[in-house]
Amino acid sequence: MALSLDLRERIIEAYENKEGSIRALAKRFKVGFATIWRLLKRYRNEGDLNPQSPPGRKSKINKAGLKLIEKLINKNKDITLSELCEALMTQQDIQVSLMAMHRACKRLELHYKKNNLSSRTAT
């Protein structure tokens, strides 16, 4: 859970006024020791208290792409990930990997066919 800007300012102010050690302030403000330590380090180095954006990059698949995926899976329960990728490329001009498509389906809580019969090995 991210700390509010007000709480961050109060923590920095209390530390600068020497109202206690990092451990004492952590107990007082009911946050972890490491949280205050990272906040102080960031404030000293960058002078910024605002929360950072989460790590990683945004998905290539936008809301329209997610709606298309949902529509395709609901229309054809036997569609594979590679077929979904191809459909997204042709209809939305968005090229994604199989793993990105898997994550999108997982985000939508939809089930898809894992592989098609032609790609299975013969016995």
The verdict on 72 and 101 lying in the same domain is: yes
Joined tokens for residue 62: 């936008």
The verdict on 67 and 41 lying in the same domain is: no
- Verdict on whether the full-model pTM lies above 0.75: no
> Per the structure, how many domains does the chain have?
2
Residue 105 lies in domain: 63-115
Is 20 a domain residue? yes
Average pLDDT of the segment spanning 71-84 = 90
**Bigger pLDDT: 58 vs 85:** 85
Distance CA 3, CA 6 (A): 8
Is 11 a domain residue? yes
How many Cβ atoms from other residues are within 10 Å of residue 79's Cβ? 18
User: Which pLDDT value is given to residue 112?
Assistant: 67
β-partners of residue 113 are 80
Q: Directed axis angle between helix 81-92 and helix 63-75, to 10°?
A: 130
The verdict on 111 and 76 lying in the same domain is: yes
